[in-house]
Amino acid sequence: SELLGSGRTSRLYRTLVEGAELAGDVGAGHTNGRYPGYFEVQVEMLKGQDRAKAEKITFEQIAALRNAPPTEADVDRFLNAF
């Protein structure tokens, strides 16, 4: 969830906020408490932007992360963010 939606170096931030300029902020997270396996993605849309396009990009980024493991550069970016 960190690589996908936490911070300005995350995949969703780079594609939805900086790239497509559809959103003002994004987030992703999971819990292993009451609802094991629960995973959420939040996209704070900018007024007047295309929600369907943002949803498509979001699902593409989830699929990309599922289909290919994080690169060394992804992991380095995440580790350097803290």
User: In this predicted model, what pLDDT tens digit does every residue of 29-54 receive, in sequence order?
Assistant: 988 888 888 889 999 999 999 999 99
Taken in order 42, 79, 57, 38, is the CA torsion positive or negative? negative
pLDDT score, position 82? 65
What pLDDT digit, counting tens, does each position of 6-16 carry?
888 889 999 99
Between 82 and 46, the higher pLDDT residue? 46
Q: Is 6 helix (H, G, I), strand (E, B) or coil?
A: coil
Between 32 and 82, the higher pLDDT residue? 32
pLDDT score, position 25? 96
DSSP state of 15: I
